Amino acid sequence: MPATRFICPSGNTVKITDCLMHCKEKERCMFLPTLRAIADSLNRKVEGATVTELLAGTRETYLRKTTDYAVRPQDQLYALHGTAFHAVNEGYTDGNMLSEERLRDEVTSGKFDLYGEILNKEDNTLGDFKVTSSYKLMRALGIYKKDVETGETYKTGARKGQPKTHKVLCNDGVKFVMDWAMQLNYYRILLEAQGLKVGKMVIQAMCRDFGLRIAAERGIQEPVQLIPIRKISDSWIIKYMKAKTTRLNKALETNKLPDVCKPKERWNDRKCQDFCPVAMNCPYGQIVMLEKKEKLAV
């Protein structure tokens, strides 16, 4: 099921259809055309589970498909931003490029963003757009901070005699791009099944908070970054996606709630706290949200 209700800034919930017909608050929280676009983006139906749905926690995807839930329109703006960015690029492709094509196999389906001569004429590149935060982009680029001694020591206080340090940015860290890599690699598999060779895979990531001090402190110097993605074993990723599909289909057929999403899938509970739209329909999510509320009340 798609989202059926909006959460107003006041905290009230309203059916999306009612919101679009008549706002019950003093004034709309944003322009009506924007709300219509958000509503449309929430109601796109695709047969079966998609690649992106399978990469999420099975419980989250199950609840998205079987329960009514509410979303804050403001939380959907970045996704809408990304959709608009796709549309802009799609309008400027030529005969050597493919854009926004949905491909299927017996396991799942996926819609890639761009394929073809999008970087040069030598490689058929599979490209994907991401609109993301400076924090996630920093991790994807392998940037991290570490303490470096200044050569001075503390003269007084509890740390007297200990070396002073300051934070420096390093660019040789682990690149946290696994979810992006799995998504693009399965798109690659779908393309190659159609006889289309993929030379390389690249993410074009746009930093949504570029220009703010926090982005600069995280080492993000440009609003757009190109991030190469390495090939993953076909047999491994196909086996993984088949297992996720089987698990989801079994839950849907038996109407049985799947196991709690893995810590990585729920961002060590951060997603449950603030970013999962079906957390209120999930017993585990309800506990996490209640714990957060109790901590804030102290």
**Pairwise CA distance, residues 33 & 18, whole Å:** 15
Res 89: pLDDT: 79
Average predicted confidence (pLDDT) for the chain: 91
Q: Which of 3, 34, 29, 1 is nearest to 16 (CA)?
A: 3
The pLDDT of 227-250, averaged and rounded, is 96
Strands (E), 117-178: 125-132, 144-153, 163-170
Judge whether residue 44 has pLDDT over 90: no
Q: Which of 178, 192, 177 is nearest to 240 (CA)?
A: 178
Nearest in space to 13 (alpha carbons), one of 22, 24, 2: 24
Percent of the chain with pLDDT strictly greater than 70: 99
**pLDDT value of residue 122:** 77
pLDDT for the residue 1 = 67
pLDDT digits (tens, 9 = 90+) for 52-93: 999 999 999 999 999 999 999 998 888 887 777 777 777 788
pLDDT of residue 157: 87
89-92, long-range: CB < 8 A, 24+ apart: 89/113, 89/114, 89/129
Assess whether pLDDT exceeds 70 at residue 14: yes
Alpha-carbon dihedral 88, 90, 96, 102, rounded to 10 degrees? 150
**Residue in the structure block whose two tokens are 């060779």:** 197
Which residue in the block uniquely carries the two structure tokens 């020591």? 153
Q: How confident is the model at residue 115 (pLDDT cuts 50, 70, 90)?
A: very high
SS (H, E, C) 192-227: HHCCCCCCEEEEEEEECCCCCHHHHHCCCCCCEEEE
Phi then psi for residue 221, to 5 deg, are -100, -15
Q: Pairing between strand 5-7 and 70-71?
A: parallel
Predicted structure pTM score: 0.89
Q: What is d(CA 104, CA 203) in angstroms, rounded to the nearest whole number? A: 21
Which string of DSSP letters, residue by residue, matches 38-91? HHHHHT---SS-BHHHHHS-HHHHHHHHHS--EE-GGGGHHHHHHHHHHHHHHT
CA distance 157 to 186: 57
CA-only gyration radius of the chain, Å: 22
